[in-house]
Structure 1
């Protein structure tokens, strides 16, 4: 709790001047005194911190200008207001003092009424600045808290939507978390690559990871007898299954249209949902895009999704080992996957294995 009585530090190398100022001010304020610039700096760093400093300019060793410069250079004392007290009465000297950062200038011999009025004014100004600073600090903390809260609500909402799709396919377990981290790992690895640096800045990488769990949200529109079929799908069933990409992007587009303002990660989520089954050679779905025509976001998701599907047990397949999954993905380099993404995947394969182990499905066969 702060002391209600303001503390004033008076600095002068002449004992008589210290005595006169001290007697004048101690009726209303806590007064501390220093007879040198060096001692003044020491006291300014001690407790209680001075609320105001009355500083003589002409002192031996370190003059008032040098003392003020040191006070202003130190964050701990930078905001203590300083009034110069000096026998110099030239306008040029006064301007120099104010330019150095003094808040006021009192000439000797001092006039008690003038000193008290200026001290009172500067203390009131400091009190107002402190109140404003406290309010700003509170507001900044409150804004940060609410932004963090909104971020948490947003992430919970994303995962709730994604889990809705996942409940239709219960064996996927931690698939959402794993693919989210695979995407983040790949994107970070390619951040400075000449082909991707223009796109993969820190903000986009964060949006990519945030969007990844929505990649299969369109599966809520696929009938159970197809989605959960334990064997191979018929051509007709496969045609229906492939519609989940467009169903997902359409649902996200509708959510985007309902938003009051543009939401960046929804653009990316829409891309990922729509295009993550496209293949580098153009043989994928739903639009048969090839090469760089496939959005980078979807290319990242495609490799991440396939790797996780390969190492996971499904109703229609056993789980492959990570090493076997790596071999299959390398075989798909330049066919299913962007060649540079496969290279990054191989280079960071241990990270993929670590993520798979960290978010392992409880029911998965080891």
Structure 2
């Protein structure tokens, strides 16, 4: 199969779809790999690294799309890429269609085969291609949240871990999934007081078992959310419903109950966000303030640490890429139910129910 790895062109997206190590594995099996020149530089991989691994280096993104049967990316195609996508071309990347109607309609119009990392789901409910980026984003949420609590960036001027004689900050984590666990771990490591809310008691029991005593858990409901936001310095939104929009757990009126200079880091922004006031931002302009509450809602947080993120992503995507390349998407999805769940759009039709429900397009379901 002819496989293309273009340079990411989303704002400050420094990751790349595959490492040279992944390219080598595909090349050994006889597949042709086309890598756009400088695609891996921001992740620490030069063109020479890819060439030695067996890739052909192409000068432009147009040529990569034109010569490839399958495109391996990190983030969803943006508007400049729509016209480059061919009918029946397999696009394997993060899409998050439920929060982006324009993208959804564009991919339907292009009649591509869209396989979304975020909806590949194993029989036990785990999301293997979302997990490593959720781990990165969960850890970064505390790193960035601590930064935006500083006064020069309009936070309340609080050191999250405190110092002797001064109490630490309070962190509220919404969701006890991968993002929530990693955020709680990082916040606890800094010495913050941490509360994790979720509706899944098994997840809360797990956190109680593995976390230190200054991480506490409570059942997630509106009453408890309203109770905790009054005193929380940093709130991390990490609620995920695979393929669907995130529930709005923090409403606009709740902001008025929060402390001036408190920070919301909404990791769920790709799926619409956990807060009513969430809107997508970039690493170039990452934060905004509403009702004196700082919002950090960058849609590609792991793009700030591309070397770590690209290696972590290739570690989990490569086995699925190999199946798609060796067998074609139809046979690969027939043989692997987890991969089949990654199918979101096929030849102009939506085949993922949560996306249909997000836009109330039930007549488009195949």
TM range (shorter): under 0.3
TM-score, reference length from structure 1: 0.26
TM-score, reference length from structure 2: 0.26
Over alpha carbons, which structure has the higher Rg? Answer: 1
Indicate the structure with greater strand content: 2
